[in-house]
Each structure stands twice: as structure tokens, then as C-alpha cells.
Amino acid sequence: MLGACHLSTGDIFRAAKSLKPCDCGPAVAEALEAMRRGELVVDNTIIAMVRERTRCLRCGGGFLLDGFPRTVGQAEALDAMLGESGIRLDGVLSYEMNIQEIVNRLSGRRTCAACKAVYHVTGRPPRKSGICDACRGELIQREDDRPESIRVRMQAYEENTRPLATYYAAQGSLIPVPATGTPEDILDRTLHLLVDRQ
């Protein structure tokens, strides 16, 4: 819709799991090995994964980073990468919502195992329960969308990621976005806030 390159570290991890080891870049291979051991992927590995994809940062339509940076150390590394390429960061979106609403939204998400279409049990249900409208594939709940997993992620967010709001607010880059309403409402609100910054 906007022509921007979407770089999601989560998508990189999910896609990499189905690759042969020889098809992974060094940083992705290192990240997958850490995940196999049940460890968190360290900042240096995440930063190297993004650096392996810096062509996305030069996309003519701009770029949207999803899942990166998650720590102040990663943000500082991103600043350095952008500086090396002469790229300016227009803004950092911070979607604001209370924890119970986050749990309700994410735990209701269902993804098609075949075509990866996304539904929600109440907000955007498929025509037939458990079946993808697009390809008739089975709808599944991702492991990280279970309520207990979400709460663990939110605890990690508060400890590691919340300081990013302070970091980017100090730079004048933070754009808080109330995340209430439909996805269309939130997108419209986001676009208006971005346009207002131009």
C-alpha cells in the first residue's frame, strides 16, 4: 500500500527455520542455534542479522522495521547503521495499549498453516471456524500467541524495550499511537500522525 520495505526480525526467524543450514547467513545461523539451545538471541546477533539486510533500509519507498530495535543497544547500533548510509529516521511508532487488551488480541489471533493469512476469533473470524477463507488451510494458534507466552513477552518488554520510549523521546522521534479500535482505525490514526510530522 505504501511501497515501504517491511523488515521483520520475527519473519526472518520463522522463515529461517525452514531453510537448510547452508542457505542461512552467518547471523541467522547463529540466532537459530541460540534458539535451539533455548537461549535469547543476543543483541550483536540481531544487529548482524539486520546489517545483512541493509538493502531494505535503502528502499525507495522507505522502510518499516518490525521487532527491531528492542533494546537501547540495538537502537544505538541502528543509529550507526543509518548514519553510515546517510539515512534519516522519520519516526518511531509506539503503539499504546493496556496489558489485558494485548493478551486478548494476541491470544485470539489465528494463522493459516498453509498461506499464512491472519484471522482473529472475534475481531476477524473466518467464514468457517478453523478453516482459512483463502486456501481452506487449517488455522492454528502460534505458540507465542498463547496467553502465558504473551505475559512472559510483556514482562521482557517492560524490562528491555520500554527504555526505548525514553531513548527515542529524547531524540524527538517517538510517535505514541493509541492502539484502540479496528486495525483500519489504527492504520488511519498512524498515517495521520506520520503525515503530521512531515
What is the rounded CA–CA span in Å between residue 133 and residue 177? 31
Q: Are 113 and 195 in contact (CB under 8 A)?
A: no
The pLDDT value recorded for residue 20 is 66
Q: Pull the grid cell for residue 170.
A: 529524547
What is the rounded CA–CA span in Å between residue 71 and residue 163? 7
Tell if the pTM clears 0.75, that is, is over it.
no
Domains of the chain: 1-89 (3.40.50.300), 91-198 (3.40.50.300)
Q: Which stretches of the chain drop beneath a pLDDT of 50?
A: none
pLDDT digits (tens, 9 = 90+) for 143-152: 888 888 888 8
DSSP-derived 3-state class of residue 36: helix
The pLDDT value recorded for residue 100 is 84
Of 116, 119, 115, the C-alpha closest to 105 is 119
Euclidean distance between the first and the last CA atom of the chain, given in angstroms as a whole number = 19
